[in-house]
Amino acid sequence: MAIVAQFAIGLIFGLGLVLSGMSDPAKVLNFLDLAGIRSGSWDPSLAFVMAGAVAVTFVGYNRIQRQPRPVFGEKFYLPTQQELDLRIISGPAIFGVGWGLAGFCPGPALTALGLGSSAAMIFVAAMIGGMWLARWLANRPSLSRVARPADQA
């Protein structure tokens, strides 16, 4: 039953992205191009989509956190880290740069992929490569943990 609910939620999300035009990278880039305010090509619609998403998320999280456990799970998995570190700063920065350069973020890219967009295919391939690289970098042993030849004696 959980997979059916997840599929329905994903379908509604994707449909919302297509209907709002957010699967079109040009629409996103027109929002990010602040120089377009003067020329009239700036498109504020992404701000309204984001405000709607934040409002729904705010209400949803407040309601869900009052529940003793998730509907389809044993417990909630919420972040516990309070400190900022390099990963928390660099991850969103890389995400923002990629979004600004390509006009895609993961959800709209997957939606556009389903619509047959070649730009989305390139973006999704690069996204998967970046995810693989990030996991590889996170899991590699650091030099401080690798035994040095002098320490083995």
Which one-letter amino acid corresponds to residue 153? Answer: A
* pLDDT over 60 at 153, yes or no: no
Residues 6+ positions from 49 with CB-CB distance below 8 Å: 20, 22
Residue 149 pLDDT: 53
Q: 54 vs 32, which has greater pLDDT? A: 54
Residue 152 pLDDT: 52
Count of beta carbons in the 10 Å neighbourhood of residue 44: 10
Residue 58 pLDDT: 94
Q: State both tokens at 57.
A: 């998320």
pLDDT tens digit sequence for 82-114: 888 888 888 889 888 888 888 888 888 888 888
